[in-house]
């Protein structure tokens, strides 16, 4: 069986705790190299028995054995290193958000297309099968006609003085970090795009980033949605879909890995209350899917165009915050 040889550009916690283990557990992938600025890569290479390590990102990209790269760098560096990787002929999986603006995302997409490499944003949550099951229940009509969707993602950020999520120039802010998941789930589960966005944010007086936000999104299909995200609240990661005959609640929507990968779906309808459980390793499923796409030469089911649409919605959130007015998307 073919295995894609991966290079990891950066030593972020998500790489060490989730994505590198997922690559190691995949039947379609292996970690061939890791790079960092400085000597961090050596320690991680030793910990995970990674054959090669580099003290610069460019050196890893020059390695002709590497077929695909995973980029978990700070948000403001995504565009630079996605385009560099593409120019070196590497397929690219980049952490969310893909970039800081839709314009940057388009430039990255164009570069990957010109260099004939596959590009995908690492929204790993969507590969968990609980969301497919939710869509099946919605389509079945069990909860009636859908009228509303609400999503929430929050946690209490303890190390705010040193955390890059508090640095505006590096792409910090709660909407970029976790609100992006809420936007993504609203768009993809409701299968419709935003036409009106109005965002309200609590801005940090020192850094200027959005510590918390509440956002109203009107979808093209007429459904009203709301999401909230925050660095100042307890851990929540849920969405709710409300119909004319009932509702669906998903309490571990984005990080079911913190509870043994278990996705629980709660259904209340005129037929009564019930629950379903779906378990899967969403990080491994993401790596499997991307690696198979590279091996077999097809585009991932999560397309670059879908990423661009998500970034346009994120742009609209920040435009609304800055203008203190609703933003209409054409």
Q: What is the pLDDT of residue 1?
A: 67
Relative orientation angle of helices 102-114 and 78-87, to the nearest 10 degrees: 10
Residues of the chain with CATH 3.40.50.720: 4-122
Predicted TM-score of the model (pTM): 0.97
- CA neighbor of 1 nearest in space, from 18, 23, 26, 21: 26
Relative orientation angle of helices 102-114 and 304-323, to the nearest 10 degrees: 160
H or E stretch covering 219: strand 210-219
**Do residues 31 and 8 touch, judged by C-beta distance below 8 A?**
yes
Q: What is the pLDDT of residue 224?
A: 98
Cα separation, 259 vs 237, in Å, equals 12
Q: Which residue reads 């499997």 in tokens?
A: 288
Q: What is the pLDDT of residue 246?
A: 98
Q: What is the pLDDT of residue 232?
A: 97
Alpha helices by DSSP H, listed for 122-249, are 130-140, 174, 180-190
Cα separation, 131 vs 68, in Å, equals 27
pLDDT tens string, the chain, 330 residues long: the values are: 689 999 999 999 999 999 999 999 999 999 999 999 988 999 999 999 999 999 999 999 999 999 999 999 999 999 999 999 999 999 999 999 999 999 999 999 999 999 999 999 999 999 999 999 999 999 999 999 999 999 999 999 999 889 999 999 999 999 999 999 999 999 999 999 999 999 999 999 999 999 999 999 999 999 999 999 999 999 999 999 999 999 999 999 999 999 899 999 999 999 999 999 999 999 999 999 999 999 999 999 999 999 999 999 999 999 999 999 999 997
Cα separation, 190 vs 219, in Å, equals 8
CATH fold for the domain made of 126-280+311-328: Dihydrodipicolinate Reductase; domain 2 (3.30.360)
Determine how many CB atoms are found less than 10 A away from the CB of residue 48.
15
Enter the tokens of residue 201. Answer: 């944010």
Residues 6+ away with beta carbon under 8 Å from 169 = 76
Strand partners of residue 146? 243
Q: What is the pLDDT of residue 128?
A: 98
Cα separation, 7 vs 274, in Å, equals 44
Enter the tokens of residue 298. Answer: 């097809």
Decide: helix, strand or coil at residue 258: helix
Superfamily (CATH H level) for 4-122: NAD(P)-binding Rossmann-like Domain (3.40.50.720)
Q: What is the pLDDT of residue 161?
A: 87
Phi, psi dihedrals of residue 200, rounded to the nearest 5°: -125, 125
Alpha helices by DSSP H, listed for 89-196, are 102-114, 130-140, 174, 180-190
């Amino acid at each position: 069986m073919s295995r894609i040889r991966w290079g990891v550009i950066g030593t972020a916690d998500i790489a060490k705790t989730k994505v590198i283990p997922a690559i190691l557990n995949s039947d379609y992938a292996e970690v061939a190299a890791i790079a960092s600025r400085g000597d961090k890569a050596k320690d991680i290479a030793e910990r995970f028995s990674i054959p090669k390590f580099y003290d610069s990102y460019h050196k890893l990209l020059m390695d002709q054995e590497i077929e695909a790269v995973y980029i978990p760098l700070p948000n403001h560096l995504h565009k630079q290193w996605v385009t560099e990787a593409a120019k070196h002929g590497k397929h690219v999986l980049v952490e969310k958000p893909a970039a800081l603006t839709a314009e940057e995302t388009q430039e990255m997409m164009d570069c990957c297309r010109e260099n004939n490499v596959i590009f995908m944003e690492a929204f790993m949550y969507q590969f968990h099968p609980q969301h497919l099951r939710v869509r099946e229940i919605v389509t079945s009509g069990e909860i009636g006609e859908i009228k509303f969707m609400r999503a929430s993602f929050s946690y209490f950020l303890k190390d705010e003085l040193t955390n890059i999520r508090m640095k505006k120039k590096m792409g910090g802010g709660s909407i970029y970090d976790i609100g992006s998941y809420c936007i993504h789930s609203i768009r993809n589960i409701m299968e419709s795009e935003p036409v009106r966005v109005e965002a309200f944010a609590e801005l940090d007086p020192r850094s200027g980033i959005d510590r918390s936000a509440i956002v109203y999104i009107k979808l093209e299909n007429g459904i009203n949605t709301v999401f909230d995200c925050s660095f100042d609240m307890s851990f929540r990661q849920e969405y709710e879909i409300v119909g004319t005959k009932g509702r669906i609640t998903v309490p571990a929507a984005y990080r079911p890995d913190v509870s043994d990968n278990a996705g629980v779906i709660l259904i209340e309808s005129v037929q009564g209350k019930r629950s379903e459980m779906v378990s899967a390793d969403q990080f491994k499923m993401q790596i499997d899917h991307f690696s198979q796409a590279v091996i077999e030469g097809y585009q991932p089911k999560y397309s670059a165009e879908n990423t661009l649409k998500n970034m346009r919605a994120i742009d609209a959130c920040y435009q609304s915050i800055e203008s203190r007015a609703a933003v209409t998307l054409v």
